Structure 1
Amino acid sequence: MMKTNSTTAKIKVLLIALLLTFGQFYSQTHNGAVGINTTSPNPNSVLDVISGNNNKGILIPRLTEAQRDAITINKPQDDGLTIYNTTEDCFNYWSLADDEWKSVCGQLGKAVFTIDCSAAKAMGTYVKGRDLTASNYLSISVNVTKIGNYTISGTTPNGYNFYGTGTFLNTGIQTIRIAGQGNPLNIQTDTVSLNANGTDVTCTPPVSVTVLSPAGTFTMSCGSATVNGVYKVGTALGASNTITLPVNVSSLGSYTVTSNTVDGISFSGSGTFTATGNQNITLSGTGTPTSTSVKTLTLTSDSQGGVSTTCAVNVIVVIPKKTVLHIGLETAYGYSAFTGPSRSLMDSPTNFGTTASSIVKYEGFTHTSLGNSPSSAALQTALNAKPDIVIIGYNYTPNATDAGYIASYLNKKGIVIALTDDTGTAQNLFRGIFSDPTISASNGAGAGSVYALSNTDDPVLNGPFGDVRGKNWGEDASTTVGMSGLTSGFIPYSYAQPINSTTARTGISGLRSSSVNFIWFGDGGFLSNENANGNPYSSNTIEPFVAPSSGGYFPVQKATYGYAGNGYSTGGMQVQNSILFANMIAWAIKQAEFSGINTQ
């Protein structure tokens, strides 16, 4: 045993001596280079590793990012220290110059983020046999805690998947789109399996996609569509902003109806028809209106069978508040629209408001008044402030200078509604506005006169509050003014001859200019009604304006009006003064928004 030990010790000494000799010879021969699986290491390399069968690699220390950051760095000595970052899936090295760990994948490396499952959803419509398009994507909300690159995928077992890659340049909550691709194979509800930067993400409940059957055959009735909700510039559409679209289904299947995007908004809807015949479908809106212009949206369906697949729907956006300057006598009779039922009509949200049921979608008025007898200087100052609309009532009497100021305001696209029955006032206004000194005004018939309205297709005669073409308006307590000498540049609403009088009258008793924003009727009491609640005043010959508070001050005709004559009995006519006025205001709001003094 002792002999054996002696022999073993001798062998060990010999091996050590041989290794030292070999190491010295090898280093000298190869200039200090070490080779693995090679007897001729690269002379410029300290270590030259060869894969003998070309099927192996080299592994350097693999650390998580947390483990890497736990290394105590000796800055001068560790410059170039290299590890493989398993968190980032990339090589990192310590840089003395930058005093930080660097990634060879770039400065950013792999992002760190979490997915908000509650906000993750599949967008678009998925139909068996139909290739996914740009409208098919996953909307993913993420919270980024470290900027960098990301790869997110969503897979299904049904022939289509989602994939997206990119770079987060900012931390915080943000929403990204993960594009879809493929073609659904079966009609079913699929669970989308999410993976973020190589890690599976489990959502409860999971993101799901319902694949619909191929489209059925149906026609759309856009002319009967109902646009629901209120639309405002700068306000994002919500759940109440929908279109109810009537359709007639002739064969069952899925449906998809989408609109183009107009001024920032669009609509879409999808589902499956389970019955044929007439029914309604709902299209949901998205986006934010960028202007108050009427949006004409083209609806496109995937209906089969050769039927028409497009039609148009208009969406009305709320018009912002406008300023109204009132000039006229403010009494209980309501000659000026600054007081009385006419003011209530203007301020009623039933008529002009932001509710879904408002007749005109509008945010309301800012009312100011100059009273009945403003000085020329006060008038000029008020008009220079550029009110959107000016309403003139009884018994304001502008002189020639005032008429010139009003004409100048109109030429700058201001809006004037003048309801006057003074000949001097009317003559000054018309001569100033139409630049014609030969225009003249004269008194016409008296209280209870009824005038026929023309059949012209006009936004005041046929507006949102009613079609009064071929109907009548009524003169209040004084006498109507008629204008003569007008040759062009106007649209006649009514002439000076009452329908209930045989006395011949000539001239015009109501008109709208075709060149400037000017409406005129020759009666200062056009708005008259001393009943604050807007109910009909009992007389048949005075106070023709009716807008009952019980109806939200909605304008209605006065059902019994006029003196007897020319075959008509006392109170045997109907007059539409309040409906006309409401249509005038609706016209004025639209003009002010799209072609007014403050749109220059």
Structure 2
Amino acid sequence: MKTKSTTFKIGFLLIALFLNFGKFYSQTNNGGVGINTSSPNSNSVLDVVSGNNNKGILIPRLTETQRNAIAINKPKDDGLTIYNTTEDCFNYWSFIDDEWKSVCGQLGKSVFTVDCSASKAMGAYVKGKELTNSNYLSISVNVTKVGNYTISGTTTNGYNFYGTGVFLNTGTQTVQVLGQGTPQNIQTDTVDLTANGIDVTCTPPISITVLSPSGVYTMSCGSATVNGVYKVGTALTASNTITLPVNVSALGSYTVTTNTVDGISFSASGTFTATGNQNITLSGTGTPTSTSVKTLTITSDSQGGVSTTCSVNVIVVIPKKTVLHIGYETAYGYSAYTGPSRSLMDSPTNFGTTASSIVKYEGFNHISLGNSPSSAALQTALNNKPDIVIIGYNYTPNTTDAGYIASYLNKKGVVIALTDDTGSAQNLLRGIYSDPTISASYGGGAGSVYALSNNDDPILNGPFGDVRGKNWGEDASTTVNVAGLTSGFVPYSYAQPINSATARTGISGLRNSSLNFIWFGDGGFLSNENANGSQYPSITIEPFVAPGSGGYFPVQKSTYGSAGNGYAAGSMQVQNSILFANMIAWAIKQAEFSGINTQ
């Protein structure tokens, strides 16, 4: 009891002193109280005036932990106010929302840490050149409490960085802190970081090299090389670069950048130390968002009125496709499910994710229906929507089968058909073209050689070689030719062999101009019994060559063809494997961008 009485007296004395020194005046009008004023605002119960206009008012200052320890009487404490020193802002208790609110914003101040190792300065910095939107700090942060943030970066060289915003989610994320100002001196600057008013120490610190004014140079974009592998959803690394040849005529700095396309961009900056021809390496950043070929515009800061823009293409790896094979599963590779033709498809030299792969592609899922599937089995397999179908010797589709294949093609499926049976070819082409007048007949025999057209076409002139005006070779059986087609196709070869004097008419190879369909009239188009893919010694059979010693890369068969029409036996060259590799490259592209599973 004695302790309580003493405490009461001391408290009473403090209140009396506060009233005396603060010049409190109780007003009869509405009970208003004024501090340092004899006329408090009539609408206020407390009117505080700074006598010399040099003081403020302090309310209780609590950490967030201390604030949360208050035992809230919900209906009576509505509007209770404190200053939260943790978030550096006023808070009040809201009865309606049943929580503490911040007047700095609904979310209050965020809590986060900076990952210095993943933070860096972006853009080029040149003496006397004002910063633009391309000059910013890319700051990686780990947010543990959502809310407002302020990040700044300062230098002593005429430019700084400042950014503010709101973190709506916790976790790792990246913030762009824009720069402003103009670098004054050529030097390397250290950026001093502050996050929500707290200094951030990075070891090593974020540094920026300020360059001299730009030199004069021209770019050779036609000789630019895109390096590395690009995959959707995979961030670019140090291996993802563009090597750009330039010719420097006047020394100075350089800044070369690209626009951002589908999430990726490239840039380089530095100072030329010599004139003449040399290379600039542009480093990539970002993550590809699609498999489309990205045409990037390269822009330089070269002075002197030279061209400062050009373009380069970046190819992104295409995801795996499912291939349905129909035909004999033998060592000859008739349907590409076995043999050297399968090895060609599975070789990362040809179709892979390495920087040196001809086609940037993740590979195939292979499925086989064998040589003679039932119509029901075919329908089921096609309804499962394989990306690509390859047909080889000696599958013989009937009219029902042809209808299923035509329906699959009309749904944007991809079919490569290599057949040498007249009935099969007739059924297939009649079904696809909806034309009952199309007919098929037998033509040249084993060792027949057919001239390829000069059309600029992705099969005749593709990533594995330009075979326009060259030849393909018939295997051991007899070529099938079709007649009655008047439109809707790109001819690859006609019925007349170059090594035969017997007159023949029709088409022996074609691509449908509106559907994803290729046909050649030889079921043994891919034939080669050598497991290693090397050239088979016969000059009239097995025209396919893709040596394992070269990564199963397709090459021509150098000695082929039966004698006739002025040609000696084995004096011709045929390009079956190159044609097939180009077909597969085309099929992959069609399946990805215009296929049955294209979204």
TM-score class normalised by the smaller sequence? 0.7 to 0.9
Maintained 8 Å contact 1:60/1:83: no
CA distance in 2, matches of 1:86, 1:166: 20
Provide Cα deviations, 1:413-472, integer angstroms capped at 9, x if missing partner: 222222122222222222222233332222222211111111111111111111111111
Question: 2:497 matched to 1:530?
Answer: no
Shift of 1:69: 5.5
CA distance in 1, matches of 2:42, 2:350: 93
- 1:56: which partner in 2? 54
Maintained 8 Å contact 2:229/2:316: yes
- 1:348: which partner in 2? 347
CA distance in 2, matches of 1:42, 1:251: 73
Shift of 1:94: 7.9
More off after superposition, 166-175 vs 227-236: 166-175
Give, as a single letter, the amino acid of the residue that structure 2 aligns with 1:535.
S
Identical counterparts, % of pairs: 83
Question: 2:588 matched to 1:589?
Answer: yes
Map 1:321-332; keep pairs closer than 5 Å.
321-332=320-331
- 2:367: which partner in 1? 368
Shift of 1:518: 1.9
Give, as a single letter, the amino acid of the residue that structure 1 aligns with 2:559.
T
Shift of 1:330: 2.2
Give, as a single letter, the amino acid of the residue that structure 1 aligns with 2:204.
P
Provide Cα deviations, 1:195-230, integer angstroms capped at 9, x if missing partner: 334443333322221111122122222221111121
More off after superposition, 540-549 vs 432-441: 432-441
- 1:439: which partner in 2? 438
Shift of 1:96: 9.3
Shift of 1:183: 0.8
Map 1:32-181; keep pairs closer than 5 Å.
51-52=50-51, 54-58=52-56, 60=58, 63=61, 65=63, 88-90=87-89, 105=104, 109-144=108-143, 147-170=146-169, 172-181=171-180
CA distance in 1, matches of 2:391, 2:37: 105
Q: Which ranges of structure 2 fall in alignment gaps of 5 or more residues?
A: 1-15
CA distance in 2, matches of 1:264, 1:204: 29
Maintained 8 Å contact 2:25/2:35: no
Shift of 1:234: 2.1
- 2:8: which partner in 1? none
Give, as a single letter, the amino acid of the residue that structure 2 aligns with 1:65.
T
Map 1:311-326; keep pairs closer than 5 Å.
311-326=310-325
CA distance in 2, matches of 1:109, 1:239: 38
Maintained 8 Å contact 1:68/1:85: no
More off after superposition, 474-483 vs 104-113: 104-113
Give, as a single letter, the amino acid of the residue that structure 1 aligns with 2:128.
G
- 2:382: which partner in 1? 383
Pair 170,501 (structure 1): closer, same or farther in 2 beyond 3 Å: closer
- 2:557: which partner in 1? 558
- 1:398: which partner in 2? 397
Maintained 8 Å contact 1:75/1:96: no
More off after superposition, 201-210 vs 100-109: 100-109
Provide Cα deviations, 1:111-135, integer angstroms capped at 9, x if missing partner: 4544343333222211111111122
Shift of 1:342: 0.7
Pair 528,43 (structure 1): closer, same or farther in 2 beyond 3 Å: closer
- Give 3-state SS (helix, strand or coil) of 1:117's partner: strand
Question: 2:251 matched to 1:252?
Answer: yes
- Give 3-state SS (helix, strand or coil) of 1:186's partner: coil
Question: 2:234 matched to 1:227?
Answer: no
Pair 572,162 (structure 1): closer, same or farther in 2 beyond 3 Å: same
More off after superposition, 269-278 vs 38-47: 38-47
Matched pairs, number: 578
Q: Which ranges of structure 1 fall in alignment gaps of 5 or more residues?
A: 1-18
Maintained 8 Å contact 2:332/2:340: no
Shift of 1:243: 1.4
- 1:308: which partner in 2? 307
- 1:502: which partner in 2? 501
Give, as a single letter, the amino acid of the residue that structure 2 aligns with 1:443.
Y
- 1:238: which partner in 2? 237
Provide Cα deviations, 1:250-295, integer angstroms capped at 9, x if missing partner: 2122222222222222222222222211111112222222222111
Shift of 1:395: 1.7
- Give 3-state SS (helix, strand or coil) of 1:424's partner: helix
- Give 3-state SS (helix, strand or coil) of 1:431's partner: helix
Maintained 8 Å contact 1:152/1:178: yes
Provide Cα deviations, 1:41-61, integer angstroms capped at 9, x if missing partner: 778888766555x34325547
- Give 3-state SS (helix, strand or coil) of 1:565's partner: coil
Question: 2:217 matched to 1:218?
Answer: yes
Pair 403,153 (structure 1): closer, same or farther in 2 beyond 3 Å: closer
Pair 252,101 (structure 1): closer, same or farther in 2 beyond 3 Å: same
- Give 3-state SS (helix, strand or coil) of 2:417's partner: strand
CA distance in 2, matches of 1:72, 1:410: 72
- 2:288: which partner in 1? 289
Maintained 8 Å contact 1:27/1:33: no
Provide Cα deviations, 1:494-529, integer angstroms capped at 9, x if missing partner: 122222222222222211122322212122211111
- Which of 1 and 2 has greater Rg? 1
Give, as a single letter, the amino acid of the residue that structure 1 aligns with 2:499.
N
- Give 3-state SS (helix, strand or coil) of 1:119's partner: strand
Pair 221,181 (structure 1): closer, same or farther in 2 beyond 3 Å: same
- Give 3-state SS (helix, strand or coil) of 2:281's partner: strand
Shift of 1:534: 0.5
Shift of 1:99: 9.0
Give, as a single letter, the amino acid of the residue that structure 2 aligns with 1:294.
V
CA distance in 1, matches of 2:26, 2:535: 121
CA distance in 1, matches of 2:65, 2:332: 88
Shift of 1:30: 6.2
CA distance in 2, matches of 1:314, 1:550: 31
Give, as a single letter, the amino acid of the residue that structure 2 aligns with 1:56.
N
- Give 3-state SS (helix, strand or coil) of 1:589's partner: helix
Give, as a single letter, the amino acid of the residue that structure 1 aligns with 2:360.
K
- Give 3-state SS (helix, strand or coil) of 1:378's partner: helix
Provide Cα deviations, 1:69-116, integer angstroms capped at 9, x if missing partner: 599879799998876665555556788999987766566554454434
- Give 3-state SS (helix, strand or coil) of 1:528's partner: coil
CA distance in 1, matches of 2:171, 2:372: 63
Maintained 8 Å contact 2:325/2:335: yes
Question: 2:198 matched to 1:196?
Answer: no
Maintained 8 Å contact 1:190/1:209: yes
- 1:268: which partner in 2? 267
Maintained 8 Å contact 2:443/2:495: yes
CA distance in 1, matches of 2:297, 2:92: 58
- 1:487: which partner in 2? 486
Pair 183,444 (structure 1): closer, same or farther in 2 beyond 3 Å: same
CA RMSD of aligned residues (A): 3.3
CA distance in 1, matches of 2:234, 2:595: 24
Give, as a single letter, the amino acid of the residue that structure 1 aligns with 2:453.
S
Shift of 1:535: 0.7
- 2:12: which partner in 1? none
Maintained 8 Å contact 1:30/1:43: no
More off after superposition, 561-570 vs 77-86: 77-86
